[in-house]
Chains A and B, each alone.
Chain A
């Protein structure tokens, strides 16, 4: 079936640094969503993209509009509260949503 591969699986950043998470799809996807799961287990939606880019504060996400086979989540000026597990989920043409395995992000002082 469709696969969604996230990289890296784990990431450690110092406060104030920038980084990018990536989500690759084995097939063309219709849309992608990014979520953050905090230490209590709550899943919060960050972005929904059908194409192009979206930005919210220090977070910016892009969805490759040409081939629709990958998406990125950029974190600028990482803060301690950005720590958590980030999931992407992609929807194929049949409206099936598949989650990636997640990236565990730790931001250190």
Chain B
């Protein structure tokens, strides 16, 4: 069953706290992504990972870092969360090859930073 799993589904944190968002996929996809979605702005790419320990900044990487130690897992870390990081975060994966470059998305994590 092709799946991208995100944990947790909902998260409330206080400003200054550290946040860890986890993402897993069972398709052995090489490429994984973290996006955030805000009203009126669509999806914005935070980071992209091409494989284990091969990560690149997306369009809005400031305030975030990522970790990919296993192909099936991709974590998004917020060190000292800020209120403007309140958003819905989506993880996605793709095989990155030809017609199979279709993105598969997780269900999202709704993060609220108070």
Binding site for B on A (CB under 8 A): 1, 31, 33, 35, 40-45, 48, 50, 87, 89, 91, 96-97, 99-102
Contacts and interface: CB of A to CB of B under 8 A. Distances in A.
Nearest 5 A-B pairs (CB), nearest first?
A43-B105, A99-B42, A99-B43, A48-B102, A101-B42
B107 A87 contact: no
Contact of A31 (B41, B42, B101): B101
Contact of B105 (A1, A42, A50, A97): A42
B45 interface: yes
A100 B107 contact: no
B90, B105, B110: residue with the most chain A Cβ atoms closer than 10 Å = B105
A101 B41 contact: yes
Contact of A48 (B44, B99, B108): B99
Main secondary structure of the interface of A (DSSP, over half): strand
Interface string B89-114: 01010000011011111011010000
B88 A41 contact: yes
Contacts of A102: 42
A40 B107 CA distance: 8
A49 to B, nearest CB: 9
Contacts of B43: 87, 89, 99
Contacts of A42: 105, 107-108
Contacts of B102: 33, 45, 48
B104 A87 contact: no
A48 B42 contact: no
Interface string B56-99: 00010000000000000000000000000000101010000011
B99 A41 contact: no
- Tell which of A40, A43, A50, A101 has the most Cβ of chain B within 10 Å: A43
B40 A43 contact: no
B103 A100 contact: no
A45 B104 CA distance: 7
A41 B91 CA distance: 13
A87 B42 contact: yes
